[in-house]
Chain A
Amino acid sequence: MFLISEAGKTRLTDADRLYEMKSIVRKRRSEAQHSYRQSERRLRIYLIVPAIIGIWMVVGFPLLYAFYVSFHDYVLSKGGLGAVNLANYLNIFEDTQLLVASKNTFILTFSVVSLEFLIAFGLALLLNNKRLHGGNIYLLILLIPMLMPPITVGLIWRMLLHPELGIINYSLGLIHMPQPAWLGDPRLAMITIIIVDIWHETSFLLLILLAGLTALPDELYEAAVIDGATSSQKFRFLTIPLMMPTILVAVLIRVIAALKTYDLIYILTRGGPGVSTETISYYIYRVAFVFLDMGKSSALSFLLLVLIIILTIILMQAMRSEDTV
């Protein structure tokens, strides 16, 4: 509001001055916020750029180079890159050894992921039970296998499974049970690897699933109890749906790791007896480091990568559709 003074000049009231000052403060605050946001954005870029450069150097560039190599005839002992062609990819489809390795990889992946999940989920439910005393001690014991490198696990189990001198067959002999050749019998070798993998990797799934169960809200369960829900109803209608995102992430990680299984095969069987335990990763290792065929091994690696990406997308889609239900 303006007042007309005697001299005919306008004079600002206190309210006008206050209003003007507030506008100035607002403007300055807005400018300060803008400047702060800009400097924050710059800081983010400064922080992210080294990481991006690092990732590019150790992941991006090798990945692109491997893709480039996969289209070339490139055997290390012969020297540089050879002719450009699609042979490395086309020959994959005629490779009978890869077919066997793919079948074995599927059996291994399906078996270990499904069995490990069932065991780990059962154990996680048990450990999440509030009436269980000393749960953390059990958890620590169950997590010990996860601490061990796969090479060590393989060497230990190789000794344990020795048909003549291993403690497992010795113990079976004491109770007059058959003493099988765990790694020497082609019908048993893959089952043995599955057992060793379950021993080693179940604790990883257990940890993730237990973390998921611990984070579930108690209120829903209390409400369910008030509504008269039974234990199985709580499990079916609350635990499973609420745990689904965690389960999918855990299973996805394990599927990817199982598809890449290499260490245990290398230590325990080298793909044998015969070709009974040869997996895709072990086959790629042989092509790359024994045959030194970098072109073909790069093509095979990209095939495995595509397979893993497809599986990831399928599981992500499944996860999203669960979320929307």
Chain B
Amino acid sequence: MKKRILFTIFGILIVLSLLLSSCQPTTTQPPAEEPTTEEPVAEGKPFEGVTINIMMEGVPDTEFVQELLPQFEEQTGMKVNIEVLNYAMMHEKLVPQLTAPEGGGSYDVIVVDNYWVGEFIYADWLMELDDRLANSETISLDDYLPSMVNMVGVLGDKAYMVPFYNYAMALIYCNVPEVEGKVGEIPNSIPEYVELIKSLTDADAGFYGASMMGLRPDPITMEWLNYLYSSGGLIYDEDWNVIVNNENGVEALTQYVDAMKNAASSGAPAYGFDETFTEVAQGKAFGFITFNWMLPQLNDPEMSQVVDMCTVTSVPGGKGLLGGWGWAIPKSSHSPDAAWAFIEWAESFDVAKARALAGGAPTRIDVFEDSDVLAAYPYYKEVEQIVGEAITFPIMSRSPQVVEVLGRVLSEAVIGSKSPQEALDEAAAELAGLVD
């Protein structure tokens, strides 16, 4: 009897396990459908019956596209499946699809992080877009900030992507009660900034000068690169010699470790983007070096307790990390024409402006300078300058590996198992082997 009860319980548990396993929040849309071949049928709805699949990251700009999507589907008759993934899962899911033969992959449109640009293009996974751009009535790369086009638009003399949104990093700080009367001008160098955030820290009271992200590999690498670039350093010089371990690099890492130990929470070595946002949004830190588009979220009363207290400005030292995403059509796409129609719509001025008004991060100059957009977000003038002057991550075929190597050694320097010089020397040896 007891045995029977035990087996019954076990059976119920297995069924429940299967049900719960299927509830993992990895995607917010139904699984991608098998795309249909392009067969435009109606004059008014040129893509009636055509289905395309898109993989995107779960970020605000993706949500804004999803909100506007019904109008595109209504206009064209096309069915667009957007599969939304966590950033960490995107690369490993994309690569096997991109290696599929021409027309044999699952995605018709992809968004490409600037880290992946070199890898995807050198591997010959993306379609060239020059002809389509030349014939387009809604998109011209001249409409975009040159820094964005050079990062997620062209490589060499060929266009492979259309810029989607920027994530140039900047300093966002908040005038919370804890810092009242303690902050004058925002410093314009990294050492001064580190001194400021150290002076604002009161660990016993649970308040920190900065919320920092030391999680391997992307968060820590992206944050530290702002220290590196603003200290005058680079990973590679113009001839692709590794210079990350020169004086500027070591100084930048020394400052970073100092800030992490004396101006941030003891948990910061394991923080990612979400933890730093939450900490600042709850008024537990003066500010953080993060994506400029975090500001609208901090001004959202549903997400933040520091509404209207925060400001965005350049990273102290003036040279932050430029990040961004571009739309691309993989060679494995089933429906490249439908894919291009979608990109033309998503990047048309009206749609790009609507996204920006909703809180998106623009890349088009005309959207940045639009009077309605500036009226809604006056600081976009400063953001335009930040995006224009920021430095991008080296575009090479093995950029994700560079992030991985840097993430590991930086984390080791933060916990003190290696000195800044030792950590960067180790990185330099590995980074030299990753050059194309």
Contacts and interface: CB of A to CB of B under 8 A. Distances in A.
Interface of A: 76-79, 136, 139-140, 143, 146-149, 151-152, 162-165, 180-186, 189, 207, 210-211, 214-215, 266, 268-276, 286, 289-292
B270 A276 contact: no
Q: Chain B: interface residue count, which band?
A: 35 or more
B268 A184 contact: yes
Given A183-B267, A270-B215, A276 B95 contact: no
A14 to B, nearest CB: 55
B432 interface: no
Interface of B: 2-3, 5-6, 9-10, 13, 16-17, 20-21, 24, 88, 91-92, 95, 99, 119, 122-123, 206, 214-217, 265-271, 275, 278-279, 282, 284, 397-398, 400-401, 404, 407-408, 411-412, 414-415, 417
A181 B269 contact: yes
Nearest to A96: B426
B3 A274 contact: no
B338 to A, nearest CB: 27
A272 B411 contact: yes
Contacts of B408: 271-272, 274-275
B270 A189 contact: yes
A79, A143, A147, A271 pick with most chain B CB within 10 angstroms = A147
A184 B214 contact: yes
A215 B7 CA distance: 12
A147 B16 contact: yes
Contacts of B6: 210-211, 214
Nearest to A211: B6
B404 A164 contact: no
B95 A289 contact: yes
Q: Is the interface of B mostly helix, strand, loop or mixed?
A: helix
A297 B24 CA distance: 27
17 contacts: A76-B123, A77-B398, A140-B9, A146-B17, A147-B16, A149-B21, A151-B24, A163-B265, A181-B265, A183-B269, A184-B268, A185-B266, A214-B2, A269-B216, A273-B269, A275-B408, A276-B415
Contacts of B214: 184, 272-273
A78 B119 CA distance: 9
A23 to B, nearest CB: 48
- Indicate the member of B5, B95, B216, B270 with the most A CB atoms within 10 Å: B270
B51 to A, nearest CB: 28
Nearest to B267: A163
Nearest to A97: B408
Contact of B270 (A78, A151, A181, A266): A181
Contact of B217 (A180, A210, A215, A270): A270
A315 B217 CA distance: 38
A185 B401 CA distance: 25
Contacts of A182: 267
A165 B297 CA distance: 19
Nearest to B417: A274
A164 B284 contact: yes
B24 A272 contact: no
Nearest to A291: B401
Given A214-B6, A289-B92, A183 B270 contact: yes
Contacts of A266: 88
A210 B95 CA distance: 45
Sorted nearest first, the 5 A-B pairs with minimum C-beta distance are: A163-B267, A183-B270, A181-B266, A184-B267, A289-B92
Given A163-B265, A165-B278, A184-B214, A291 B404 contact: yes
B271 A184 contact: yes
Contacts of A271: 216, 408
Contact of B123 (A77, A139, A162): A77
B91 A274 contact: no
A138 B21 CA distance: 23
Contacts of B266: 163, 180-181, 184-185
B399 to A, nearest CB: 11
Contact of B91 (A139, A272, A289): A289
A269 B266 CA distance: 14
Contacts of A152: 20, 24
Contact of B284 (A139, A165, A180, A270): A165
A174 B119 CA distance: 51
Contacts of A273: 214, 216, 269-270, 411, 414-415
A164 B206 contact: yes
